Every structure is written in structure tokens, then in C-alpha cells.
Amino acid sequence: MKKEVLKYINFLKDRGISNPVLEVQRFISEKFNIPLHKVIVGDFDFSEKLEESLKDFCEKRAKGFPYGYILGFTYFWGRRFFVNSHVLVPRPETETIVEFVLKKVGKGFKGTLLDCCTGSGNLGITLVKELVLAKVFASDLSLNALKVAKENAKNLSADISFIQCDKLYCFKEKSFDVIVANPPYVGIKEKNTLEKEVLNEPEIALFGGEEGYEFLKDFLFQALKVVKEKGLIVFEIGYNQSESIKNIAKELLKVQNLYFVKDLNGHLRVGVIENA
């Protein structure tokens, strides 16, 4: 490890950043296109430009700016997505939805699919790239988020239609074979417990109501109308929300065919409704 790099790692460590070694090494590698193994062994030129950029990165990280916003992009299902402060930085656990849908519908799927609450477009764009015969739509209430998603679709040559829409209000009944969503589901009551970098992401992308599941309740009510018969609704939930969602689905929406899928950490993070 280069001693110049160590100085910045210690800077982040002293300011409570939980994985400073990895963050600094990844930043140098991703920003300057240097293979990570070379960064780790110190086989690169610690130029003035690199130091300036690393200093700026560390100062912003110390203030709580998310890693993805500073770098300007993140990876999702192996593809690079541009992100800015108008969208949530896509998380690895959301790839559970992609994995599940690909397995469930198969590569030859030719139906219609909607990614509601698309944000940076990560789910819809990934699914249209993998399911090349599908007709894919993506929606969001935020026009600024849709701008980011459109930019990503262009960069990744994804054939996808974008629509500004509040939840699913603008779609007709029985429109889609598959609806996927990573909706806002954090409870406003949990706001004080969130890390400061999460609080730098847009509120509209985070909070789903006082408890967190209120948005999901509305979303599911509408999705059950908008999905086709024998269609599929696949949605992300908070790690501790499966019981509340199960009750809402059974008692309020009279849904029997709901089950949950675990993410890589073993948490029930994806709800699935197979419409009868």
C-alpha cells in the first residue's frame, strides 16, 4: 500500500467511515480505471490529479455524501448506471428482484413488464437487456429521476418506454404481465436512526409513510388491478416488513398467493404475488 494512500484511509477512519480501505482503493480503481489488484499493491502513479480527486472524495465522504454520488455512477447486475442526487443509489440486494424474475419468466419471455418507481432505471433497463423479447415500461413520479433513467437507457442502448406517473394511477386495468418495483418503504419514524449518507438521498425515494409500508399498501392495491390474469407482482420490502405486508395482503387485499424471497443476507426482502 502506498503511504500517500494510507493518509487518506486514516482520514476516513478517523471520521467514522466503516470500510475506509476498500472505499479508497475502489475509488482510485474506478475513477482512474486502474485494476484493483494494482491499487492494492501500490502499482500506480500517485499523480497530482489523483491526489486532488482523492482529497475531494474523502472530504465529501466525511460530510456524508454517498459513494455513488461522488463517483457519479454505480454498478447494477454488472452494468454501469449513472447516478446523481435525484435518485437512490441502486443497492446490491435489489438484484434479488432481477434474479427472481429471470428465473421465473425465462429468457424467452415476450410479454409486457413495468418497472414502477424506476429511479435510475436500474431494474427496468436490466430486465429489458436480459429479456430482449419483452416490451418494457418504466415509471416514476419524479421527472428528475426519469431524466437520469433516460440517460442510462441511452448509454446502455436499452429499448424501454418511460412514463411519469403517480404509483400506478395512469395505467389501465390488466395492462402488464409482470410488475416489478422497489418502492419507497422506510418509515418516517425511523428517520433519526438512518445513516447520514442515506439521508442525503431523496426523501421521495426513501419514505413510504409513517410506518414505511403505507406506500406499499396503496401500490399493491393498484398493482392487483393493473396486472394481467396469471401475471406477477414482484416488489422489494424492508428487512423487517414481511409480517406487516403479509397481514395487509391477507386481511385488506384478500390476497392468498403471496410469498417472500430471501436476499443474499438471508433476509426476506422481496414479496411475490402470483395473480390467479
Ligand X SMILES: C[S@@+](CC[C@H](N)C(=O)[O-])C[C@H]1O[C@@H](n2cnc3c(N)ncnc32)[C@H](O)[C@@H]1O
Does position 140 interact with ligand X (CB under 6 A)? The reply is: yes
Binding mask 169-208 for ligand X (x = CB under 6 A): -------------xxx-------------------xx---
Enumerate residues 6+ apart whose C-beta is below 8 A from 145: 86, 87, 118, 119, 120, 202, 205
Does position 68 interact with ligand X (CB under 6 A)? The reply is: no
Does position 224 interact with ligand X (CB under 6 A)? The reply is: no
184 or 187, CB closer to ligand X?
184
Compute, in degrees rounded to 10, the torsion defined by CA atoms 170, 189, 85, 153.
-40
Does position 94 interact with ligand X (CB under 6 A)? The reply is: yes
Task: Please choose, out of 3-11, 62-70, 104-112, 135-143, the segment that lies near ligand X by the rule CB under 6 A.
Answer: 135-143
Integer Cα distance of 78 and 116 in angstroms: 21
* Residue 207 DSSP class: B
Radius of gyration of the chain (CA): 20
124 or 231, CB closer to ligand X?
124
**DSSP letter for each residue of 56-124:** HHHHHHHTT--HHHHHTEEEETTEEEE--TTSPPPPGGGHHHHHHHHHHH-TT--SEEEEES-TTTHHH
What the block records as the C-alpha cell of 241 is 416488513
Binding residue for ligand X, selected from 20, 90, 231, 271, defined by CB under 6 A? 90
25 or 74, CB closer to ligand X?
74
Q: Which of residues 95-134 bind ligand X (CB under 6 A)?
A: 117-120, 122-123
Residues that bind ligand X (CB under 6 A): 87-88, 90, 94, 117-120, 122-123, 140-142, 145, 166-167, 182-184, 204-205
